[in-house]
Chains A and B, each alone.
Chain A
Amino acid sequence: MPTENAPPLLPDLPMQPSKSLVFRVFFLFLIGLSAAFSLAILRAHSGPLFATNTPLVLTGESLALTNGLRLAENKLAEGVVPQFGKTLIIARPSEDGSAVVALKLPAQVALNYRYVEAVINGGIAQGGVAFIWRGGALKDKVRQRAIPFAGATALPIAIEPSEGWTGEIIGAALQLNGPFTAPIEVESVTLSAPSLAATAQRLLRSWFSFETWDNSSINFLYGGPIDLAHPLPLYLFFGLLVSLGLFFFLTKDGRMAGDARIYWLLPLLFWLVGDLRWQVSLLQQAKITAATFSGKSNEERHLAAEDGRLFKLMQTFGTKMPIADKAAKTGYRVFVFSDDEYTRARAAYHLYPRNTFALPGVTDLLPAKSYQTGDYIALIDKKEVRFNRQTQTLNWGQAESVGVELLHYENGNGLFRVGVALSSPAIPAMSLPTSSPSAPTGK
């Protein structure tokens, strides 16, 4: 091995980045970041630069439920831990499908406040949440602004005078449109005066708000407010361009020493900012996941999950059916029907590995001739199907009917075993027996 003639190991290799490189990189990074944040504030802000009023925080008696059902304090839903006296808990919307929480506000609120932030916990109002108010020039017109959510977190909104948030405000409220996934807690509503600081805070909160898993997470991630008025990646890239542009000009003028490493160090730093947001959100989610499921068996985890009650019901249904034995050719099928797509598919999943049928979009029961003796029919939250106890038949549609045995009934949900299948064309509609008043039916 020609070791004797070898050059010394790494003769002039820098073992540390020069202080000036670190300084230059962070100088450029901070300038770019500041430029990006300043641009965001400029685009998001309107009104005076400095606040003239302290924030108005509405809790407890300042929140009055005018439409919807308030949950009595001694009848709390499972898992809801309210702060008595401060938090308003709404069990469900009223019959018109919404719950309205009136806010006690001073008449001149529009003059002094422009940012609205609601802290809402517990369930999700699937129809959305809006801030509504009446006042300004057209006093009879109810105006509204949808409150955006990042996952389950309500994000702050800014209301402009041009939207009618001006003059004397006659009334303001939060409107929560049902259905609710669980009782909803309205903890507080805060109104802030416009200022640069409030705008900056609002932006940071919306960018770094916790984004919990929901049904859409597998398809897309918000990364901030869904209106995408101020998307963080766009501002970060703008900041990166400012940094690189500044570096380019400073090195051209000779006021800064050039170093091509800066071309990849700067993108890395801006990437890390975006990743920091995501990492923090992931860690928060991991805490929730661990708190919900840690140390539990598979069954306990299912019971603790969002569909715990459905899982329990399907467990009960499962005990009524044997596991099909393929080798012995003793197969049967389980037909699962529900008016709700999620309920139908999820219930079916819990029944696998039984031979389960719950195809997407198939809400109505299949024609009677589709069932064979020994099959099972599970009805969960299913309307317009009747069970006649006297004739032991399930009846639906125009004249569809099938002979069944009721195996389990619970809160409008039933499991039936098909006995003698009756084909609809053979049975005149008029000959169908009427349902027994006590017979269980779908909801």
Chain B
Amino acid sequence: MMTIFGLLLSILVPTLLGIAVVRLQLRQRPPNEPHEPSLNWSFVIGYGGIVGALLATILMRVASLLGVAWNFWLLCALMLGLAILLHLISQNNRRGTVVSITEESSATLVTTPPEAWLKWLFYGLLALLVLRFLNLSVEVLQRPLYPWDAWTQWATKAKVFFEYKGLVSFATLDSYLLADAAAVYTDAAPTYPPTVAILQAFSALSIGRFDDALVNVPWLSCWVFLCCAFYGQARNWGLSATAAILATYALGSLPFINTHVALAGYAELHMATVFGLGAIAFFSWAKGGANNSSKGNNHNKRQLLLAIFLLLACLEIKRPGVFWLLSILPGVLVWWRPRLGLAVLATSAIVLVVAAFVFAKSGATIAGFRIGQDLTDVSLPIIQNTFLMGNWNLLFFLGLAIMIVAWRSLLQGVFAVLTAVVFAGCTFLCIVFYFRISAYVSDFTTINRAVVHLVPVLVFYFATLAWARVQQLGTMPTDHLDFYRERMQNPQDIKDARNAKIGTQTNGDVSTTAIVS
């Protein structure tokens, strides 16, 4: 029982801290400032869970730097104290502020669709995700570390950190042999960031021993938080509950993502989650900006801060994190100067195509890449792994189809930002696959593990594009308020209807207006 209790605490306490951070309101809102849309709980829990886990690792690093040995209860108390403090600050700053139901927030308040059969569909897909969770739990909680890198470069560090209750240096071969044996360790990837290993060490601290299976609980929680946050952001974007759960199910049921939960121990799932949620927060922030004439005022600062924090955290998950961080830059450029950004993007695309296909035979060297000699055609293994094998179900078929059907939207409005980031991410993958690690692509060892980092972003991109396209077609999996919006052109009617509905329904699907305290 103590084991279960400890493990639950190891997830719950950082999540509470993360939730307090995500909901943090640092200043009192002036009376004339537009009200912020209320936050949906799946968004808060999902982002809270991931942010909290990252904050826990930061706290542990600080403790280690200060020479304080890690103590689970002390860390929990510290995190809980911080969470309570932040909550009180937020509560104080919110006091007396009435949050009205705004056009933007309406979608986030509705949790399930009204139509009976859509409700069944919603709960059916949710049940499939719950079944998947239970299924994956069996693997995570019982199977000792299984995949290769998990025990050659991640859990090696975790075991040492747990033993010493603090961070220990890992060095490359040369430094290792010269160093004091008591001070420096080594493993297969000594220069990799320790974040994932610290998460495992924290789980081990919670149960008081290093259990090869139970230390992997952060992978299970990461999957849950990814699904929650993804659903929340889809709702924030305006997708109906049914459409949002459909997209979330598509993401959460992907075989390759499930495998990285079941065979826990690699950093790919955390990399995908941190980058994916950071990028999606950036998209949501950009959407807020794109919908408003003055970009400075109405941005959802919470989304922006989350994006910055998570995208910077990519650097501390895996070394390729720096490239994923950089892949956001084209999106920022397109958001800032749409025409200039798209022009730069188009030029880059042309340069890349020319470099790849024209200079391929010349042996030219560009930015250190010997085009002629280093370029290896790995198109076939890429197609096999993304389209034909069992890794991604129908994701890439459907994604391609959605992009073709919604081609008019690809460079319109906020979708130009998403397209720029997806383009940059795919370009990065192509450069890596065709020039740098073609041998590992040909033998299938690295394709999917690199692609998975971009997958949450891709699913979000495809889902929002599809949503935009289906809305153009007219009939949608409707929600209460979407339904009213479709039928009432007069904004006053919409407002009245919404107020009437909220006034008559105090529980169930729709949250009530309330004095948020």
Contacts from A to B (Cβ < 8 Å): 1-3, 5-7, 9-10, 13-17, 211, 213, 215-224, 228, 231-234, 236-237, 240, 259-261, 263-264, 267-268, 270-271, 274-275, 277-279, 282-283, 285-286, 289-290, 292-294, 298, 301-302, 305, 323-326, 328-333, 345-346, 348-349, 352-353, 355-357, 359-360, 362, 366, 370, 372, 374-375
User: Which residues of A sit under 8 angstroms from B503, Cβ to Cβ?
Assistant: 1, 3
A355 and B266 contacting across the interface, CB-CB below 8 Å: no
Asked, given contacts A2-B496, A260-B475, whether A231 binds B389 with beta carbons under 8 Å apart, the answer is yes
Asked, given contacts A221-B255, A221-B256, A298-B213, whether A278 binds B390 with beta carbons under 8 Å apart, the answer is yes
Identify 4 new A-B residue pairs, CB closer than 8 A, beyond the known A217-B263, A222-B390, A332-B181: A6-B497, A298-B214, A345-B151, A360-B152
Main SS of chain A's interface residues? Answer: loop
A278 and B183 contacting across the interface, CB-CB below 8 Å: no
Asked, given contacts A289-B139, A349-B155, whether A301 binds B181 with beta carbons under 8 Å apart, the answer is no
User: Which residues of B sit under 8 angstroms from A1, Cβ to Cβ?
Assistant: 499-500, 503
* Complexed CA–CA distance, A7 and B259 (Å): 50
Task: Check if B123 is an interface residue, CB within 8 A of chain A.
Answer: no
23 contacts between A and B (CB under 8 A): A3-B503, A10-B483, A15-B116, A211-B390, A218-B260, A218-B449, A219-B447, A220-B256, A220-B444, A222-B390, A223-B388, A233-B388, A233-B394, A236-B394, A260-B473, A282-B135, A286-B139, A289-B139, A294-B142, A298-B212, A329-B182, A345-B188, A349-B155
Q: Mark B459-480, 1 if CB is under 8 A from A, else 0.
A: 0000000100010011111101
A290 and B142 contacting across the interface, CB-CB below 8 Å: yes
Q: State the 4 A-B residue pairs at the shortest beta-carbon distance, nearest first.
A: A223-B390, A331-B182, A6-B500, A331-B181
A375 and B394 contacting across the interface, CB-CB below 8 Å: no
Task: Check if B186 is an interface residue, CB within 8 A of chain A.
Answer: yes
Contacts from B to A (Cβ < 8 Å): 114-117, 128, 131-132, 135-136, 138-139, 142-149, 151-152, 155-156, 159-160, 162-164, 168, 173, 176-177, 180-188, 209-214, 243, 246, 250, 253, 255-256, 258-260, 262-263, 266, 384-385, 387-394, 397-398, 444-449, 466, 470, 473-478, 480, 483, 493, 496-497, 499-501, 503-504
* Complexed CA–CA distance, A302 and B146 (Å): 10
B501 and A264 contacting across the interface, CB-CB below 8 Å: no
User: Which residues of A sit under 8 angstroms from B114, Cβ to Cβ?
Assistant: 10, 13
Asked, given contacts A301-B212, A349-B152, whether A264 binds B246 with beta carbons under 8 Å apart, the answer is yes
Chain B nearest CB, measured from A402 CB (Å): 14
CB nearest neighbor in B for A323: B163
A213 and B480 contacting across the interface, CB-CB below 8 Å: no
* Complexed CA–CA distance, A16 and B116 (Å): 6
CB nearest neighbor in B for A328: B182
A349 and B151 contacting across the interface, CB-CB below 8 Å: yes
A298 and B394 contacting across the interface, CB-CB below 8 Å: no
Main SS of chain B's interface residues? Answer: helix
User: Which residues of A sit under 8 angstroms from B262, Cβ to Cβ?
Assistant: 213, 282, 285
User: Which residues of B sit under 8 angstroms from A331, Cβ to Cβ?
Assistant: 180-183
User: Which residues of B sit under 8 angstroms from A263, Cβ to Cβ?
Assistant: 470, 473
Asked, given contacts A3-B499, A6-B500, A357-B186, whether A220 binds B139 with beta carbons under 8 Å apart, the answer is no
A220 and B393 contacting across the interface, CB-CB below 8 Å: no
A228 and B388 contacting across the interface, CB-CB below 8 Å: yes
* Complexed CA–CA distance, A298 and B216 (Å): 13
A289 and B181 contacting across the interface, CB-CB below 8 Å: no
CB nearest neighbor in A for B160: A353
Q: Which of B143, B147, B384 contacts A293 (CB 8 A)?
A: B143
B496 and A5 contacting across the interface, CB-CB below 8 Å: yes
Chain A nearest CB, measured from B467 CB (Å): 9
Chain B nearest CB, measured from A142 CB (Å): 29
A278 and B117 contacting across the interface, CB-CB below 8 Å: no
Q: Which of B209, B259, B387 contacts A298 (CB 8 A)?
A: B209
B135 and A370 contacting across the interface, CB-CB below 8 Å: no
Chain B nearest CB, measured from A235 CB (Å): 10
* Complexed CA–CA distance, A8 and B248 (Å): 33
Asked, given contacts A9-B501, A357-B176, whether A324 binds B181 with beta carbons under 8 Å apart, the answer is yes
A215 and B500 contacting across the interface, CB-CB below 8 Å: no
User: Which residues of A sit under 8 angstroms from B184, Cβ to Cβ?
Assistant: 355
Chain A nearest CB, measured from B7 CB (Å): 14
* Complexed CA–CA distance, A5 and B488 (Å): 14
- The listed residue with most A CB atoms (<10 A of its CB), out of B116, B155, B164, B389, is B389
B260 and A271 contacting across the interface, CB-CB below 8 Å: no
Asked, given contacts A2-B499, A301-B212, whether A283 binds B390 with beta carbons under 8 Å apart, the answer is no
* Complexed CA–CA distance, A348 and B155 (Å): 12
Q: Which of A17, A234, A298, A352 contacts B159 (CB 8 A)?
A: A352
Asked, given contacts A234-B388, A260-B475, A301-B144, whether A278 binds B470 with beta carbons under 8 Å apart, the answer is no
A298 and B146 contacting across the interface, CB-CB below 8 Å: no
User: Which residues of B sit under 8 angstroms from A240, Cβ to Cβ?
Assistant: 394, 397
* Complexed CA–CA distance, A217 and B185 (Å): 29
B500 and A2 contacting across the interface, CB-CB below 8 Å: yes
